[in-house]
Amino acid sequence: MGTRDEILAAARRIMRERGYARATTKEIARAAGYSEAALYKHFTDKTEIFLGVLSEQLPAFGTLLTALEAGTGTVRGNLTKVARTALDFYLEGFPISASLFSSRELLSAHRDAMRELGTGPRYPQRALSQYLRAEQRLGRLPRASDAETIAALLLGACFQQAFLLSFDGEPVADLNALARRLVKTLL
């Protein structure tokens, strides 16, 4: 594991324990065993670290969505993988990102930084909608289906279920079965 990966792993731990808002770059660097200067050799700011944690340390949600290829596997199977990965991603991400909403200023600054980097929380729904439209063109999903709504309903359900599981603090249910049920009902 290299310096960058060690910093991201430490950031994940710190942000999970303290939330994004209360995690400092100094604390992250110290937890990784590096100076704050070393941290800034790899990242421009805390937002970039946060995005690195989301894309490289949490379940590979973005990678899965990018790799979805219409016409391979089954639509049901592909959507079940998406749902399962989304559940994992949201379960891991809630403790880290919830504090973004602790102040309007913090959320606004984070929103601006994400726009500047060309990323944001709408990516999963856009990517899934694109996949679903491709499946429609192949005739594997009814053309009358609304791809954007299917994507919103599936990811929204995963988000809500992950929120409830996080909030309840109870042992995580069978997420594979939950993913299958969500997709079955949706299709």
Highest mean pLDDT among 5-19, 72-86, 157-171: 72-86
Retrieve residue 88's tokens: 């994992």
CA-derived radius of gyration, the chain: 18
Report the distance separating Cα 8 and Cα 53, nearest Å: 6
Going along the chain from its start, the domains and CATH numbers come out as 1-45 (1.10.10.60), 58-186 (1.10.357.10)
- Would you state the torsion angle of the CA atoms of residues 26, 32, 33, 34, taken in this order, to the nearest 10 degrees? -50
Residue 59 is predicted with a pLDDT of 65
Q: At what angle do helices 75-97 and 147-168 cross, to 10 degrees?
A: 50
Instruction: Please return the burial class of 54, using the count of CB atoms within 10 Å of its CB with bins 0-12, 13-18 and 19+.
Output: buried
pTM confidence score: 0.83
Tens digit of pLDDT for each residue in 104-113? 887 888 788 7
Which residues have C-beta within 8 Å of that of residue 84, sequence separation ≥ 6?
Answer: 175, 176, 179
Higher pLDDT, 78 or 170: 78
Q: Is residue 126 classed as helix, strand or coil in its secondary structure?
A: helix
What is the rounded distance in angstroms from the CA atom of residue 127 to the CA atom of residue 84? Answer: 16
Residue 116 has pLDDT above 80, yes or no: no
Residue 168 or 148, more confident: 148
Residue among 38, 68, 53, 87 nearest 138 (CA):
68
The residue assigned the tokens 């990966």 is: 5
